[in-house]
Amino acid sequence: MPEKKIRVLIAKPGLDGHDRGAKIIARALRDAGMEVIYTGLRQTPEMIASAAVQEDVDVIGLSILSGAHNTICPQLMNLLREKGMNDVTVLVGGIIPEADIPAMKQSGIAEIFLPGTSTQDIVEFIHKRLAR
């Protein structure tokens, strides 16, 4: 029986429109055989959480370069908990000061990928994390 494809939501939360990374990751994950939904720009945490539920995704990838991560991430994690999405893997990519990473991981974010990360590393992380 063919395995169910991994479903990923790639989201751009907040006001920032710099989407080069998000689009590349979306395409790389697609090329790696995953089903990817890209939300487009200027998503609120509510919109992202709703989309994640609606699309029944395994992974949410947030692209944040704006410095708003300490506001956006806790809001999103709370919403996901409220909606019962406790099993979804949340990943963040972008510009995140190292000092902020421990708190983000404590809040349930599985991994933070900084500039310079290769797309293979992200693909491998997802496969390993979901054990498929």
Name the residues that contact another protein, by CB under 8 A. 10, 14-20, 23-24, 26-28, 30, 36, 38-41, 44, 66-72, 95, 97-99, 114-116, 118-120
Least CB distance to another protein at residue 80 (A):
18
Least CB distance to another protein at residue 38 (A):
5
SS (H, E, C) the chain: CCCCCCEEEEECECCCCCCHHHHHHHHHHHHCCCEEEECCCCECHHHHHHHHHHHCCCEEEEEECCCCHHHHHHHHHHHHHHCCCCCCEEEEEECCCHHHHHHHHHCCCCEEECCCCCHHHHHHHHHHHHCC
- Closest CB to another protein among 12 and 85? 12
Least CB distance to another protein at residue 56 (A):
20
- Closest CB to another protein among 88 and 96? 96
- Closest CB to another protein among 49 and 69? 69
